[in-house]
Amino acid sequence: MEKVIIIRYAEIHLKGKNRGYFEHMFSVNLERSLRGIRHELHRTNGRYLVAKFDENRAEEIAARISRVFGIHSYSLGYRTESAIESIFEAAKLVGPQSGTFKVETHRGDKCYPMTSPEVSREIGARLLAEFPALTVDVHTPQSAVYVDIRENGFALVFGSFEKGVGGMPVSTSGKGLLLISGGIDSPVAGYMMAKRGMSVHYLHFHSYPYTSDMAKEKVISLAKLLSRYALTEELTTVSVTHIQEEIHEKCAAELNVTLLRRFMFRIAERIARNRGDQCLITGESLGQVASQTIEGMTSSNAVVSLPVLRPLVGFDKEEIITRAKEIGTFETSILPYEDCCTVFLPDHPAIKPKLSFIEEEEAKLNVEALVEEALAGAQRLKLY
């Protein structure tokens, strides 16, 4: 008998002619999420088994698995020989010792000498004899013991189904470049796209020395937290200090944010194209702040030709916060470090800037040279 984790994928996404690729990426992603932990990964009958791991680390492995996109459900349990004695030994370990319960058996091996109901009755009877505080309730039991008899002389025995995170395997839906700030929203935006199977690279703009090393560390922490799901290994950072100084010196103050955002998009697009990323991703939500009006979004879209995905555009702040808490980025996002957007922040940023006004002000700058200078200083940082 050995402890295993049984993983079932969200089958619906794995149908059709892409199935092989989906399955391949799914197992690659499982391996990536389990890196650093000794284990074996087996594929059996439309599910995956994690075996031969350090049993003291079972909880940690389960936690990692709970964050792999494409998983429908998973169970901690045992793989045993399919003899009824062995199944019972495992059932004692996964099952309850008091309260109401039922045994549910699935039989993949149709040659097995007992039928599924017979196995359930036999294991149930043995558990009742072993633990007198148990009673059977097949309709609304407090706990259950699941027995899955496989063709190869083995059985899987487990006590519950844990809900997986769903979604599609990362790397099966193209590549995107996430503009990640230290805020609450952009990590959630990255999560949403990775959940749909996108491979998400990270780009962060800073304005050192106006923004501190602590602010950068915060973004690195956020990127690592997001990577528990997105499995992204690198963060690109770019300084926009020189751009902000130029804008501050030469352009109308109320356009500071608008102009900076257009630079961010231009730089992001250049990096994305170099990397083969097919879109930009931001954490913008309609109307949340002055620059996130439809006019603001239009003015930044105007300088790029790649699509800009804004998965949070219709979300309320409350909804974004709830999701940020679920994925574990919220506590880090609210640490009080400055973002480059808050440096030189005007008292009254333009809410609905006219494109003609923006272009007039921008004409005072050498846009291409500023972008080139920013790109020349880009740094790539390994997250793990």
Positions in the binding site for ligand ATP (CB under 6 A): 179-181, 183-186, 203-205, 282-284, 288-289, 291, 339-341
Tokens of 208: 């050192």
Q: Where do the DSSP E strands lie in 82-240?
A: 99-107, 134-136, 143-149, 154-158, 162-166, 175-179, 199-206, 234-239
Cα–Cα distance between 176 and 283 in angstroms, integer? 13
Nearer to Mg ion, 197 or 283 (CB): 283
How near is the Cβ of 335 to ligand ATP at its closest, in Å? 12
Q: Which does 198 bind (CB under 5 to 8 A by kind): ligand ATP, Mg ion, none?
A: none
Q: Tell me which residue has tokens 């805020």.
A: 183
Footprint of Mg ion (CB under 5 A): 181, 183, 339
- Residue number closest to Mg ion, CB atom: 183
Closest Cα to residue 183, out of 44, 284, 257? 284
CA R_g for the chain: 27
Question: Based on CB atoms, which residue is closest to ligand ATP, 164 or 296?
Answer: 296
Looking at beta carbons, which residue is closest to ligand ATP? 183
Residue 10 vs 215, nearer CB to Mg ion: 215
CB of 212 to Mg ion, least distance (A): 15
Given phi > 0 = left and psi -120 to 50 = alpha, else beta, which region is 232?
Answer: beta
Nearer to ligand ATP, 80 or 291 (CB): 291
Pairing of strands 143-149, 99-107: parallel
- What minimum distance in Å lies between the beta carbon of 344 and ligand ATP? 13
Which one of ligand ATP, Mg ion, none interacts with residue 207, CB within 5 to 8 A by kind?
none
The CB-of-99 to Mg ion minimum distance in angstroms stands at: 49
Residue with tokens 């391949």: 24
Q: Which is nearer to ligand ATP, 166 or 346 (CB)?
A: 346
Q: Which is nearer to ligand ATP, 185 or 269 (CB)?
A: 185
Toward ligand ATP, which CB reaches closer, 269 or 339?
Answer: 339
Tokens of 214: 């602590």
User: Residue 289's binding partner, choosing from ligand ATP, Mg ion, none, with beta-carbon cut-off 5 to 8 A by kind?
Assistant: ligand ATP
294 binds, among ligand ATP, Mg ion, none (CB under 5 to 8 A by kind): none
Q: Exposed, middle or buried: residue 104 (CB in 10 Å: 0-12, 13-18, 19+)?
A: middle
In whole angstroms, give the CA distance from residue 31 to residue 352.
48
* C-alpha dihedral sign at 274, 280, 281, 284: positive
Count of Cβ atoms closer than 10 Å to residue 294 Cβ: 11
| Nearest distance, CB of residue 186 and ligand ATP, angstroms | 3
Shortest distance, position 280 Cβ to ligand ATP, whole Å: 9
Structure tokens belonging to residue 195: 């959940």
| Residue placing its CB nearer to ligand ATP in the complex, 23 or 277 | 277
Residue 302 Cβ vs ligand ATP, minimum distance, rounded to whole Å: 16
Residue 81 φ then ψ, to 5°: -65, 155
- Tell me the residue length of the chain: 384
For residue 204, the partner it binds in Mg ion, ligand ATP, none, with Cβ less than 5 to 8 A by kind, is ligand ATP
Nearest-approach distance from CB 265 to Mg ion, in angstroms: 15
Give the nearest distance from C-beta 333 to ligand ATP in angstroms. 7
Q: What is the sign, positive or negative, of the torsion defined by CA atoms of 241, 337, 311, 69? A: positive
Nearest alpha-carbon partner for 31 in 14, 7, 13: 7
Which entry of Mg ion, ligand ATP, none binds 179, CB below 5 to 8 A by partner kind? ligand ATP
Beta carbon nearer to ligand ATP, 156 or 184: 184
What kind and span of H or E run contains 145?
A: strand 143-149
Residue 180 interacts with which of ligand ATP, Mg ion, none, CB < 5 to 8 Å by class: ligand ATP
Query: Inter-axis angle of helices 294-301 and 355-362, to 10 degrees?
Result: 50
